[in-house]
Structure 1
Amino acid sequence: MVIYLQAFATGFERDYERIDHMYDHINRSPMGSMVLNGTGWSLNRERMASYLGFDSVFDNSYDATQLYTLEYPVEAAGVVTPIAIRVGNFIEDLMTQYAQPHPRILLQEGGKNTYVSSAMPQKRNPGILNNTRMDASTIVGDAQGAIICTHNTTPGLIDSRSPLTVEMVRDTAKLLDQFDDVLQALQIDPVRAEQELNLDWTASQELADTLMRDYDIPFRVGHHVASDMVTVARANDYHPTDFPYAEIQRIYAEDIAHADISEAPRTFPLSESQFREVLNPRRIVERRATKGGPQPAEVDRMIRESKAQVAKQEQTTAKRTEQIKSSLERLERDFQAYLK
């Protein structure tokens, strides 16, 4: 579950990068560009930009007032859409298992999290999930509307300058606040989660991997063994914790005979305790050695790096906010001094 949540955190890091790139584009002052070709008045555009907290000015006045005004809504839509889709993906994934009689992940009941069904007394509707997913879908729709408003539009026309762009950005900020509420309300049942893994033979591939890795049995043969094991298990309601050891010995012997691999062990090479360990989801997680895998050491590393990245992002945001604040304060001081 931790690596699952970490994956979404990594996705949100990419969202920040898109926001960061967009900020670089919009952090240029159009002041002084006028309608499209500047002005005859003696204006110091760089000074105006500094007073307003911009880093620089739009170099081309036609771009500032005619082209980027069409591009900005499209770029904003490209920023908010992945965020909304990712939130919606998470909610839908959560809802899929939430409908089970005994979910592994629930919401803390009450408040704005859940409400009692008006028809079924035993049912607790996940109101916060429903509302968050609906808002995410609305943002995706609004983003497409912003793009359509700029399509086949003559530069400079007002089609793309509707409040829709600002609204969808503000709505996305609200969506992230709602999503944080969802995460804070989650209650994970680790015992139930492990039961879920064992119910559908999630660990069956590890048997094929082990036969190949440790005993040089071709994966296609080990795959047949694991698949036949699952077929027998589902027909007899067996689970990894109680699958008869004699059955896997029989399945292995038959598949090896049909495969006609002379160098492979003729009898199942794993002891019963080794067989149980191979099918243990906890052990599988521990054995994953891939960079970025679910093993605790790698998950801890990714979490540390994500926290460091978040701290860096917070510093950048604070610096930009302070730059705007101090610039506007300087503008006010100088303007008041001018009035005197």
Structure 2
Amino acid sequence: MTDTNPRLADRSVFPDPVYKETVLKPLFDGAKTHHIDGFRRIDRAHLVMLVETGILDREQAGKIATALEAIDRDIDPAKLVYTGEVEDFFFLIEKELKARIGVDIAGRLHTARSRNDIDHTLFKLGLKERIDALMVKARKLLDAMIATADWEKETLIVAYTHGQPAQPTTFGHYLSAAIEVLIRDIERFAEARNIVNLSPMGAAAITTSGFPIDRARIAELLGFAAPLRNSYSCIAAVDYTTSTYSAIELMFLHLGRLIQDLQFWTSFEVGQIYVPNALVQISSIMPQKRNPVPIEHMRHLASQTFGRARTVLDVMHNTPFTDMNDSEGETQGMGYEAFHSAGRVLDLLAAFVAQISIDPQRVADNIRRSCITITELADSLVRLEGLSFRQAHEIAATVARAVVAKGGGLSDDGYEPFLAAFEELAGRKPGIDKAQFAEIVSPEHFVAVRARFGGPASAPMADALAAYQEKAAAFARQTQENAAREAAAAEELQTRFTALMGVA
């Protein structure tokens, strides 16, 4: 009996037209958009290493080097249209090499490597470049926040808890809290870069190679700190991706909280932050409106960045511990959008923080109406009158209720209720007179006496700002060192590669 099932007599030719349009073409377009320079550097560095280890002779390498240079000169990647003649960009370059110098010589470039280690090296090169660029922007934001915190270190504001006025502090002290989070976020980002900065080249498909390759040398030529040790890890452990996007996710989750406060503080009802005209849009119909629209853009862009980073992590979830397409071209390209929106937020927030100011009259009015210095009255009664804190707290609460009911302020309207509450609850007259009472409940005194480590008073703030500036300087030095290492590697690679062309 003859089986007539056409599927068992497969005469199809790769690639299937639908597969070509839905998978291969998008991957090809992504590679030519994002990874051209990486392909070029990997080919050249691998070629140099093959010669230095004696795997390839200099005459053969010279022909390959000259052909690679000609391909770079003759082919404009932006004009390439995927036809399906080759599977991907890697095979396009190999096809061009074969056409120029023959199959035998061209095929030697791929000795002791695989698309597996090439791909992960490409992605790491792309991430390092983007991390470094974003780190510069994060540092500029940090510098702007430190400068503003220093400038505003004595500027009073209302601090809120649970959406309600809580205590007075300074704008510098508030920003310092956000500065410390940003410093930790930058440190997490720097540690992610350290994970990215280990070269997979030489792992080949999974297990390295029987050829005497020098993995450390190709890592050096490509600007990596070192090769990643375990070769299986090179093609399976995509924690370089997850660490990078986890760091982005956390940074923009945290910045989003700061941005949300800026939105609240610029509302008409609070109004303690003034946004200059350059960062305000007017209404098309309501002439009285001053809309601080940049805050909304920062907020939604921070959320978009968070969401894009989270999506990359979600794609990695429950994937096998092996080389797999889930972590590769299209996922990497999708993740780059997180870097793009992240950079926009950092630039805009740095400009915004540098230009906003505190409205002292609104702050004074809100402090007066909310009685938020009342905690210091309770504390002072413990120190000056020898009361327990709970008893002092009850007296202070009674005073606050009376002042709020009257619609007044503690300094002007609080002393009489204080005398009555103290005598009733303590059973005697207080030793605090009216002038001393007014000083105790003033916001300036409230801040000044909070001189403990991390507090808003002058001494701890000076120490904190010095520490932040030292951290910022360390980040700047690390950025410069990274840039210098990358430049030196690029220069050496170019020198070694050019020398090979002289042999051809």
Partner of 1:242: 412
When Rg is computed on C-alpha atoms for both structures, the one with the higher figure is: 2
Matched to 1:87, the amino acid is L
In 1, distance between residues paired with 2:325 and 2:426?
A: 73
Matched, 1:335 2:497: yes
Q: Are positions 1:159 and 2:321 aligned together? A: no
Q: Measure, in 1, the Cα distance between the counterparts of 2:344 and 2:201.
A: 30
Q: Match of 1:309?
A: 471
Decide whether the 8 Å contact of 1:76 with 1:169 is kept in 2: no
Aligned partner of 1:104 among 269, 272, 280: 272
Letter in 2 for 1:3: H
2:305 and 2:338 in contact (8 A); partners too: yes
Q: Does 1:226 align with 2:396?
A: yes
Which deviations, in whole Å up to 9, do the C-alpha atoms of 1:27-57 show, x marking residues without a partner? 1111111222223444211110111111110
Q: Distance in 1 between matches of 2:285 and 2:241?
A: 44
CA drift of 1:244 comes to: 4.7
Alignment map for 1:154-303 (pairs within 5 Å): 154-155=320-321, 156-161=323-328, 162=331, 163-257=333-427, 266-303=428-465
Identity of aligned residues (%): 26
Aligned to 1:260: none
C-alpha contact 1:12 1:83 (8 A) present in aligned 2: yes
Q: How many residue pairs align between the two structures?
A: 328
1 CA distance for matches of 2:355 and 2:493? 44
User: Counterpart of 1:92 in structure 2: which amino acid?
Assistant: Q
| One of 243, 251, 255 as aligned partner of 1:75 | 243
Paired residues of 2:193 and 2:244 also in contact (CA < 8 A): no
Superposed displacement of residue 199, structure 1: 2.0
1:133 correspondence with 2:299: yes
* 8 Å CA contact retained: 1:81, 1:140: yes
Consecutive unaligned residues of structure 1, counting only runs of 5 or more, are 258-265
Kept in 2, the 8 Å contact 1:84–1:139? The answer is: yes
Tell me the TM-score normalized by structure 1: 0.92
The CA distance in 2 between the partners of 1:89 and 1:199, in whole Å, is 26
Is contact 1:76–1:165 with CA below 8 Å preserved after alignment? no
Within the candidate set 194, 207, 212, 1:37 is matched to 207
1:207/1:244 CA distance change after superposition, 3 Å: closer
Task: Give the deviation of 1:101 after TM superposition.
Answer: 4.9
CA contact (8 A) 1:87 1:179 kept: no
CA–CA distance in 2 between the matches of 1:77 and 1:118?
A: 39
SS in 2 for 1:125: coil
Q: TM-score, normalised by structure 2?
A: 0.63
Residue number in structure 2 paired with 1:49: 219
* Native 8 Å contact 2:281 2:293 kept in 1: yes
- Give, in whole Å, the separation in 1 of the partners of 2:362 and 2:199: 56
Q: Residues 134 and 232 (structure 1 numbering): CA distance in 2 closer, same or farther, change over 3 Å?
A: same
Higher RCO by CA contacts (8 Å cutoff, separation 6 or greater):
2
